[in-house]
Amino acid sequence: MRALFKELREHPLAMVYAILVHVVLAAVLFVSMEWTDVPTPAQAPINIVKAVAVDEKKILAELDKLKKAETKKNKDDKAKQKSLDKQAKDAKKKRQREEKRLAKLRKERKAEKKRQKKAQKKRKAEEKRIAAERIKKKKELARMKSEQATLEKKRVAEEKRLADAAAKRKMLERKRRRDAESAARRAEFAAEQQRMEAANEKRLSSLRGRYIADIQSKVERKWIRPSSARQGAKCKVVVNQIPGGEVINVTVTQCNGNEIFRRSVEAAVYKASPLPRPSDPGLFDREIVFNFKPQT
């Protein structure tokens, strides 16, 4: 019964239909009982039947009206439900689009975080490299300063030596003027001095030749013969170096080899850096020129 009352509350038109049907049934039963229990004149049943028929028509008309109203309501409910379904479908599509957009946004954010992390890692590596390069340059500068200080000391010592030599020559000149008798000895001394200078020049020339030969030999050891290099290939090499023998520039000229041969010679010179030092520091020259002619 409770379920029936709940159904009637939810559908009032159905409740009206039920009441009307019960009314019609009650009327028919009432008429039937009147005909059976109470004899009436012949005309009386006809009137009752008509009355019942009239009431039934009204009831049926009312039922039809209610049915149309129920049909219209159902139609309106269906239209409303269709509209609600469409709104729900649109909302679902909108939610799906939003979820898709949020997923794409999360993916883009994740990619951006990954890119930033990679960039940060690269930046740290670059900073580390720059720091190492800065330390290396600092050490190189300190080394160059030390070499410059050494060269400066040598220069001062050489100037002092030259000054002492000049003073000595002046003293000899004064002595020669004071003592004419020592002229022969002075001439002999001067000849000896000249001989010694010539010998020194010869020695320095020999040392310089050995210095150049040492450089050439080291370059040849570092040289890797290209497969395209022909026999008898040679060239003139101009090398610029800094104190300590570090090569800073190489120029290959007057070369009868191809471009590969020229590049192999340049590479050999850079590999030979630092170049051998001369036995006499006075022979050091920032620009060294030698002929490169490999034996094999």
Does any domain span residue 14? yes
Q: What pLDDT sits at residue 60? A: 84
Domain end point (choices 98, 131, 158) = 98
pTM above 0.95, yes or no: no
- The model's confidence at residue 23, banded by pLDDT at 50, 70 and 90, is low
* For residue 182, pLDDT beyond 70: no
Q: Which domain holds residue 42?
A: 2-98
* For residue 37, pLDDT beyond 50: no
Q: What pLDDT sits at residue 41? A: 46
Residue predicted with more confidence, 117 or 32: 117
The amino acid occupying position 153 is: K
Residue 153 CA to residue 21 CA, distance in Å, equals 134
| pLDDT per position as a tens digit, 240-258 | 999 989 999 999 999 988 8
Residue by residue, DSSP assigns 223-254 as ----TTPPTT--EEEEEEE-TTS-EEEEEEES
Does any domain span residue 124? no
Domain end point (choices 46, 65, 98) = 98
Q: How many domains is the chain partitioned into structurally?
A: 2
* For residue 48, pLDDT beyond 80: no
- The model's confidence at residue 204, banded by pLDDT at 50, 70 and 90, is confident
- Show the DSSP H helices in the chain as ranges: 2-10, 12-37, 43-178, 183-222, 259-271
Tokens describing residue 10:
């939810």
Does any domain span residue 109? no
The fraction of the chain above a pLDDT of 90, given in percent, is 50
Does any domain span residue 228? yes
CATH of the domain at 248: 3.30.1150.10
For the ranges 33-37, 65-69, 106-110, 194-198, the lowest mean pLDDT is seen at 33-37
The amino acid occupying position 65 is: K
Does any domain span residue 26? yes
Does any domain span residue 104? no
CB–CB of 292/235 below 8 Å? yes
